[in-house]
Amino acid sequence: MYQLLPPPPRNRQVDLAEVYAYPAGAPRWVRANMVATVDGAATAGGKSEGISGEADKRIFGVLRALADVVLVGAGTVRAEQYRPTRVREQYQAARAAAGQAPTAAIAVVSRAMDLDWSQPLFTSPAVPTIVLTATDAPQDRIDAAAEAGAEVIAAGTGQVDLALAVERLAERGLGRILCEGGPHLLGQLAAAGKLDELCLSVAPQLRGGDSMRILAGPDLTEGLPLILHSLLTEDGFLFARYLVGGTHGSAAGSGKEG
């Protein structure tokens, strides 16, 4: 792995935990992590697997190791058969020192609650899985989720109010939020003004076709300006860390490599 930006001092290994450190002292910080091809495809055959790579997976693991909670849309949980998170041993001491649970909880955003509650994601995570839903979600499914062991949190009526959902997570001490998509959830987060940072892996391939891009749904009429904070490369992939423009820039982690 090489760090292109900011220019690193010579002969220093990239320390991914340092490059991607959450900003110190921020009570809540919403980071998204997505992968796309050079022509912007975020899916290949309905999944992201075909466009990911070894280094991308490594960064994916580090971002999970740093997070309090992984926020993910039900569409992605269904498409990718989500499982509970696991944190590599090398990050466990740092998590304990930071007062974090041994591994990040997964928080699934769903209105329909049409999920397979018998999956390990709900029945056997190290930290209970959270389901963020609407106050008027189907009661039998809320009951099924709770019975399976999930913590159900209502935030908003009709659909999940994502600004409120972020508050609900932060109130529980889960302020370091990692959104793993999918594009519809991420589009809404950005539209709600709740996105602080985007970690984007650009895979060295073209896909064509009509795959989704990394954001879907609402049109961000004004455009959301991003500030490039760091850029790494390995195996032809580019790994960019962007901060959402405006006041966020000064709050971010150092981005130094170590």
Task: Print the binding letters for residues 82-121 with ligand NAP: x by CB under 6 A, - otherwise.
Answer: ---------------------------xxxx-x-------
Q: Which of 17, 8, 56 is nearest to 201 (CA)?
A: 56
Q: Which of 159, 111, 149 is nearest to 129 (CA)?
A: 149
Contacting range for ligand NAP; rule: CB under 6 A; set: 62-70, 91-99, 183-191, 248-256: 183-191
Question: By C-beta, is 110 or 230 nearer to ligand NAP?
Answer: 110
Q: Look-up: residue for tokens 């955003």?
A: 109
Give min distance, CB of 256 to ligand NAP, in A.
Answer: 26
Question: By C-beta, is 145 or 174 nearer to ligand NAP?
Answer: 145
Give min distance, CB of 56 to ligand NAP, in A.
Answer: 9
Contacting range for ligand NAP; rule: CB under 6 A; set: 68-76, 168-176, 231-239, 243-251: 68-76
Q: Which of 234, 128, 55, 119 is nearest to 63 (CA)?
A: 55
Binding residue for ligand NAP, selected from 75, 138, 149, 255, defined by CB under 6 A: 75
Counting contacts by CB under 6 A, is residue 166 touching ligand NAP?
no
Give min distance, CB of 41 to ligand NAP, in A.
Answer: 8
- CA atoms of 108 and 148, how far apart (whole Å): 14
Counting contacts by CB under 6 A, is residue 46 touching ligand NAP?
yes
Binding residue for ligand NAP, selected from 74, 131, 178, 231, defined by CB under 6 A: 74
Amino acid symbol at 167: E
Question: By C-beta, is 46 or 193 nearer to ligand NAP?
Answer: 46
# binding residues, ligand NAP (CB under 6 A): 31
Binding residue for ligand NAP, selected from 62, 63, 162, 202, defined by CB under 6 A: 162
Counting contacts by CB under 6 A, is residue 37 touching ligand NAP?
no
Q: Give every CB contact of residue 110 below 8 A, 6+ residues apart in sequence.
A: 73, 74, 77, 131, 132, 133, 137, 160
Burial class (CB in 10 A: 0-12, 13-18, 19+), 30: buried
- CA atoms of 208 and 152, how far apart (whole Å): 39
Amino acid symbol at 12: R
**CA angle in degrees (0–180, nearest 5) for 230-232-235:** 165
- CA atoms of 219 and 193, how far apart (whole Å): 13
Interacting residues toward ligand NAP by CB under 6 A: 34-36, 42-43, 46-48, 73-76, 79-80, 109-112, 114, 159-160, 162, 180-185, 188, 212, 216
